[in-house]
């Protein structure tokens, strides 16, 4: 494999596999608020939050971690303002102590926070402005959850970058991703550069999955799967992925390693592969290389879909997990390609109606589709070109999914947000 392509793929993983505590959209709001507080340099008297529709959709119904069950936009702003670490990225409120929670309530009682939908063409867009007497400051994050494009204090513009057209404008070139080269990379790349990233992904996401299975989090989808459907490897794979989301969506104070900007996707791409690896007694190297397949095929799909969309991102991660399991069990290019195409054909079009406890159930369905796609291949069954969105190749099919998500589901996204506001 070409050395420059190898480095590109490694760089993608470094950019994608980062830790976050809590659902990434409210955490991005908290990060923006912490930056705003630091820039203003004093307690704000008033805050205006101009947010894209997809940010509003994904913040509305999830618990902000370390806030004792508080949900939504205003608690996320308050947490970042009162106790956020502006230099901690998506761990911005990871160290918020519970004894400071009364300060959050006091802040929200004393400080008017106006929230409006900005109508921004960028689906990930957080624009916060604060005033205090004659002073004001503004911070804007867009495209990616930590990508600050605008800073202003008292009329002085400190940073002003154009609104990104895609999430991937910065960083490694994700257009270089294709299934064949992903498999070459998984087969050949020295693991020293990526093993720490993968070990952190395994450790963090396994811990929150175990928490979801033992604690009374969310709808307890993971526990239901094990209690009602048996304890075979397929059910465990689904259960551990779903349980991580159960805990995360309901405010669990454990970090996850995200993928494509999403903790749910990071968990879904990881945990089924980990469960299957444990089941067959795979070596650590085998697990690592299978995770490379799962993670990169997930990112490959999301490049066309976008970070936020009407298309449920868990589906992409479930497809990635199916591919990773296939690779772990000895599948080569043909097997992985058929697994991806089959899995994509099964569940593509599943809607994202915001981050919330039901994400866990969608994750279970996504992992099921990924595994079924692989089982179909083993039985010499496949969905063929021209059947729905299935294209002439695995990469063409993935491209079709991007078209479906970005063009075909544009009105779906608008309709979902209208329904959620009723």
Domains of the chain: 24-160 (3.30.1330), 172-420 (1.10.4100.10)
Pairing of β 113-117 and β 125-132: unpaired
Rounded distance between C-alpha atoms, residue 187 and residue 176, angstroms: 17
pTM: 0.94
| Per-residue tens of pLDDT for the chain, all 422 residues | 789 999 999 999 999 999 999 999 999 999 999 999 999 999 999 999 999 999 999 998 889 999 989 999 999 999 999 999 999 999 999 999 889 999 999 999 999 999 999 989 999 999 999 999 999 999 999 999 999 999 999 999 999 999 987 655 568 999 999 999 999 999 999 999 999 999 999 999 999 999 999 999 999 999 999 999 988 999 999 999 999 999 999 999 999 999 999 999 999 999 999 999 999 999 999 999 999 999 999 999 999 998 889 999 999 999 999 999 999 999 999 999 999 999 999 998 899 998 889 999 999 999 999 999 999 999 999 999 999 999 999 999 999 999 999 899 988 888 988 888 76
Whole-angstrom Cα Rg for the chain: 21
Q: Can you count the helices (H) and strands (E) in the chain?
A: 16, 8
Nearest to 312 by CA among 373, 362, 260: 362
Measured over the CA atoms of residue 13, residue 301, residue 245 and residue 263, the dihedral's sign is positive
Contact assessment for residue 405 and residue 306, using Cβ atoms and an 8 Å cutoff: yes
pLDDT, residue 168, reads 54
pLDDT, residue 169, reads 52
Instruction: Collapse the DSSP code of 311 into the 3-class scheme (helix H, G, I; strand E, B; otherwise coil) and give the result.
Output: strand
Rounded distance between C-alpha atoms, residue 111 and residue 114, angstroms: 10
Measure CA 218 to chain center. Answer: 18
For residue 47 the two structure tokens come to: 């805050």
Instruction: Collapse the DSSP code of 49 into the 3-class scheme (helix H, G, I; strand E, B; otherwise coil) and give the result.
Output: strand
Measured over the CA atoms of residue 159, residue 147, residue 119 and residue 75, the dihedral's sign is negative
Alpha helices in 134-220, H assignment, sequence order: 179-188, 195-214
Contacts with 141 (C-beta within 8 Å, 6 or more apart), sequence order: 28, 31, 32, 124, 125, 126, 147, 148, 149
Angle between helices 221-229 and 233-249 (to 10 degrees): 160
Phi-psi region of 101 (alpha: psi -120 to 50; beta: other; left: phi over 0): alpha
Pairing of β 256-257 and β 19-20: antiparallel
Q: How many other CB atoms sit within 10 Å of the CB of residue 413?
A: 22
For residue 246 the two structure tokens come to: 């159960």
Q: What are the distances in angstroms from CA 237 to CA 77, 155, 275, 377?
A: 35, 53, 6, 19
Rounded distance between C-alpha atoms, residue 40 and residue 35, angstroms: 9
The residue with tokens 């989090």 is: 217
Q: What are the distances in angstroms from CA 189 to CA 19, 83, 197, 203, 257?
A: 23, 41, 14, 22, 21
pLDDT, residue 422, reads 67
């Amino acid at each position: 494999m070409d050395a420059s392509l190898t480095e590109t793929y490694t760089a993608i993983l470094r950019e994608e596999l980062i830790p976050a505590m809590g659902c990434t959209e409210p955490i991005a709001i908290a990060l923006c608020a912490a930056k705003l507080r630091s820039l203003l340099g004093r307690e704000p008297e008033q805050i205006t939050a101009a947010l894209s529709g997809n940010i509003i959709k994904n913040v509305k119904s999830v618990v902000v971690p370390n806030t004792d069950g508080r949900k939504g936009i205003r608690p996320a702003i308050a947490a970042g303002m009162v106790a956020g670490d502006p230099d901690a990225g998506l761990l911005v409120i990871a160290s918020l102590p519970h004894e400071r929670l009364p300060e959050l309530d006091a802040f929200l009682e004393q400080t008017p926070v106006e929230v409006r939908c900005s109508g921004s063409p960028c689906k990930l867009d957080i624009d916060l402005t604060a005033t205090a007497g004659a002073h004001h400051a503004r911070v804007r994050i867009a495209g990616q959850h930590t990508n600050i494009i605008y800073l202003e204090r008292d009329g002085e513009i400190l940073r002003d970058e154009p609104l990104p057209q895609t999430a991937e404008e910065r960083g490694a070139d994700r257009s270089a991703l294709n299934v064949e080269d992903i498999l070459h990379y998984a087969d050949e790349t020295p693991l020293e550069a990526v093993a720490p990233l993968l070990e952190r992904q395994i450790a963090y996401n396994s811990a929150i999955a175990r928490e979801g299975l033992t604690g009374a989090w969310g709808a307890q989808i993971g526990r239901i799967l094990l209690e009602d459907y048996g304890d075979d490897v397929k059910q465990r794979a689904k259960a551990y992925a779903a349980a991580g989301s159960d805990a995360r969506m309901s405010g669990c104070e454990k970090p996850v390693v995200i993928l494509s900007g999403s903790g749910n996707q990071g968990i879904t791409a990881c945990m089924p592969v980990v469960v299957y690896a444990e089941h067959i007694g795979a070596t650590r190297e085998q697990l690592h290389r299978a995770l490379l397949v799962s993670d990169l095929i997930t990112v490959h799909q999301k490049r066309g879909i976008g970070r936020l969309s009407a298309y449920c991102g868990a589906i992409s991660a479930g497809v990635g997990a199916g591919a990773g399991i296939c690779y772990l069990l000895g599948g080569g290019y043909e097997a992985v390609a058929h697994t991806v195409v089959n899995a994509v054909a099964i569940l593509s079009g599943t809607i994202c109606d915001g981050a919330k406890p039901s994400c866990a159930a969608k994750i279970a369905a996504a992992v099921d589709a990924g595994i079924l796609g692989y089982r179909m291949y083993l039985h010499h069954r496949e969905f063929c070109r021209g059947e729905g969105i299935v294209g002439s190749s695995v990469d063409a099919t993935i491209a079709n999914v991007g078209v479906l998500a970005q063009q075909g589901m544009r009105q779906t996204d608008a309709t979902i947000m209208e329904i959620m506001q009723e």
